[in-house]
Structure 1
């Protein structure tokens, strides 16, 4: 079977669109609206027409809708930062056991330094751990929502994510000691 002929037919059915219309092309797909099939934008752009946001049917078409979406995304990103700090505060309040482990580490000048690690434990079958688990699930879902918003490649929405995360960090993390969390999602 000659696949090059089939691929040519598929490519000839693709419709190019103007820079003002960043997310739709004409097609017969059932996932579209008004006879249009939604296509994912693959480069950054600034626009407000036909921007599909997270869910089918949640489509931005006016400047007012874009402003509202940016405010919502900004607040979600700020809430995400607050949630991370809130989980740390709850964990510190519900500490059950604290263990310090020290181990020798060679220094740069040949001396031996002692490195101390703090291990915090809590019971697995406890209300505190159940609450931490639920908050962790919420945190993961929000982080993926923010990632998907950024993946719209819409400049306005990307800026809203970045500013919301920055403002959230500024508001909630100012008392926190800065520690890099290697398990943090999507950052």
Structure 2
């Protein structure tokens, strides 16, 4: 398979059944890819915000408060199965899945789909990059 960009409709878009056959289908597919790329940026910003919020509030210390600092299995289980950690894990899985999906879209070497990934990612960053905890706290403080 030649690794050069192509115009037109891809023969296969991840699955043979999803290959666009006309301009309308290609446009809709490009819009869908852009939305998915923007969603990836949203997830990235949201995970960052959650991380900041979780670490700005009180959380379990890294080591249990004992004299000899022995970490017990019970303590480790508490840290691993905290709701916040489980949420971050689920969001990480979603982010990796979407990231690989976008990589496969780019690897179709269709110029329109490639541009859709880039534009969607840029638009998502433009919209969601400022979603950090400090900004939201400041906005909520003045409302």
TM bracket (short chain):
0.7 to 0.9
Determine the structure 2 residue equivalent to 1:152.
108
Q: RMSD of aligned C-alpha atoms?
A: 2.0
Describe how 1:68-87 pairs up with structure 2 within 5 A: 68-87=28-47
| Higher RCO by CA contacts (8 Å cutoff, separation 6 or greater) | 2
Contact 1:149/1:157 (CA < 8 Å) preserved in 2?
Answer: yes
TM-score scaled by structure 2? 0.72
Determine the structure 2 residue equivalent to 1:44.
5
Deviation by residue 1:75-131 (Cα, 9 ceiling, x = unmatched):
0000100100001111122222689xxxxxxxxxxxxxxxxxxxxxx9222011011
Q: Does 1:128 align with 2:84?
A: yes
TM-score scaled by structure 1? 0.56
Structure 2 CA distance for aligned equivalents of residues 136 and 61 of structure 1: 34
Following superposition, the deviation at residue 53 of structure 1 comes to: 1.2
Determine the structure 1 residue equivalent to 2:122.
166
Which segments of 5 or more consecutive residues in structure 1 lack a partner in the other structure? Answer: 1-39, 100-121, 177-187
For residue 31 of structure 2, give the secondary structure of its aligned residue in structure 1.
helix
How many residue pairs are counted as aligned between the two chains? 114
For residue 109 of structure 2, give the secondary structure of its aligned residue in structure 1.
coil
Determine the structure 2 residue equivalent to 1:27.
none
Structure 2 CA distance for aligned equivalents of residues 130 and 171 of structure 1: 26
If each structure's strand is expressed as a fraction of its own residues, which one has the higher value?
A: 1
Following superposition, the deviation at residue 174 of structure 1 comes to: 3.4
After superposition, the Cα gap between the structure-2 partners of 1:64 and 1:41, relative to the gap in structure 1 and judged at 3 Å, is farther
Contact 1:52/1:58 (CA < 8 Å) preserved in 2?
Answer: yes
Structure 1 CA distance for aligned equivalents of residues 117 and 82 of structure 2: 34
